[in-house]
């Protein structure tokens, strides 16, 4: 499902060239559960951003569902992302003026889905993350764990095949962190391909497949 071939990503900072990703080749199959670990600055987020189509590799090929997505326009990528990839961030990134339900609804609004269908799906998804009674709360009225559950609901609302999470528990205490991981694993059991970046060895060890990144390369 995800095939990376000799992916490089370099950043030019002044005179210096930073090799954030240095010749990464990786295949992830449908329904896999992968954790990504590694020291800070090793390129984990950069890798996830490339897979999420938020960032473009400097060189190499990226096949998503056997289609080359390296040479697509921004808007094409936006549509592929919208349909195929859910993303969960360390800092939740909810829109502060919108309620939980409205935040969850946003990807469907962008996709142009009809209002009736949207309302139905929001109710279902809120229930699946156990937040039915928080639908009208705004982000500043929710706890960290609840915020991340809203974010997961939003990531899943378009029913993507791939769910990417960049340190989803980084800002949570261990109890709600575990809750979130269990929620994500539950989604994986339902068939979603899951990829989680984490600094927490215990959490990383839960994944059947573990990838370690050091200095922009996959360490064996």
Ligand X SMILES: Nc1ncnc2c1ncn2[C@@H]1O[C@H](COP(=O)(O)OP(=O)(O)OP(=O)(O)O)[C@@H](O)[C@H]1O
What is the contact surface with Mg ion in residues (CB under 5 A)? 45
Q: Is 15 exposed, middle or buried (0-12, 13-18, 19+ CB in 10 A)?
A: exposed
CA distance linking residue 110 with residue 106, whole number of Å: 6
Residues binding ligand X (CB under 6 A): 11, 13, 18, 20, 38, 40-46
Task: Give helix 100-111 / helix 74-84 axis angle, nearest 10°.
Answer: 130
What is the DSSP pairing of strand 193-197 with strand 33-37?
Answer: parallel
Q: Residue 41's binding partner, choosing from another protein, Mg ion, ligand X, none, with beta-carbon cut-off 5 to 8 A by kind?
A: ligand X
DSSP state of 207: S
Residue 206 binding: pick among Mg ion, another protein, ligand X, none (C-beta 5-8 Å cut-off by kind): none
82 touches, from ligand X, Mg ion, another protein, none (C-beta below 5 to 8 Å by class)? another protein
Q: Closer to ligand X at the Cβ: 108 or 213? A: 213
Q: What are phi and psi of 56, to 5 degrees?
A: -105, 135
Measured in residues, the chain has a length of 220
Nearer to Mg ion, 20 or 94 (CB): 20
The residue among 18 and 202 lying less far from another protein, judged by its C-beta, is 18
What does the H/E/C string look like for 80-118?
HHHHHEEEECCCCCCCCCCCHHHHHHHHHHHHCCCHHHH
Q: What residue ranges bind another protein (CB under 8 A)?
A: 49, 52, 54-55, 74-75, 78-79, 81-83, 87, 89, 91, 93, 95, 97-98, 106-107, 109-112, 114, 154, 158
Residue with tokens 């694993």, as numbered in its chain: 185
In the complex, the smallest distance separating the C-beta of residue 89 from Mg ion, rounded to whole angstroms, is 10
Picked from another protein, ligand X, Mg ion, none, the partner binding residue 43 (CB below 5 to 8 A depending on kind) is ligand X
What does 40 bind: Mg ion, ligand X, another protein, none (CB cut-off 5 to 8 Å by kind)? ligand X
């Amino acid at each position: 499902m995800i095939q990376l071939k000799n992916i490089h990503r370099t950043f030019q900072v002044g005179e210096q060239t930073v090799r954030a990703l240095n010749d990464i080749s990786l295949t992830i199959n449908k329904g896999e559960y992968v954790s990504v670990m590694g020291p800070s600055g090793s390129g984990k987020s950069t890798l996830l951003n490339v897979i999420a189509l938020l960032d473009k590799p400097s060189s190499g090929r990226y096949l998503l569902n056997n289609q080359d997505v390296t040479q697509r326009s921004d808007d094409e990528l936006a549509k592929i992302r919208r349909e195929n990839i859910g993303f969960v961030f360390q800092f939740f990134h909810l829109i502060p003026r919108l309620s939980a339900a409205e935040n969850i609804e946003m990807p469907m609004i962008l996709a142009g889905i009809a209002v009736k269908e949207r309302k139905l799906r929001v109710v279902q998804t809120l229930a699946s993350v156990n937040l039915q009674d928080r639908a009208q709360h705004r982000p500043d009225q929710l706890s960290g764990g609840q915020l991340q559950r809203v974010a997961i609901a939003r990531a899943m609302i378009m029913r993507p095949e791939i769910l990417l999470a960049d340190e989803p528990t980084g800002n949570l205490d261990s109890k709600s962190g575990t809750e979130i991981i269990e929620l994500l694993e539950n989604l994986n059991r339902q068939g979603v391909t899951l990829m989680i970046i984490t600094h927490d060895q215990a959490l990383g060890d839960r994944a059947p497949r573990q990838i370690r990144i050091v200095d922009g390369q996959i360490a064996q």
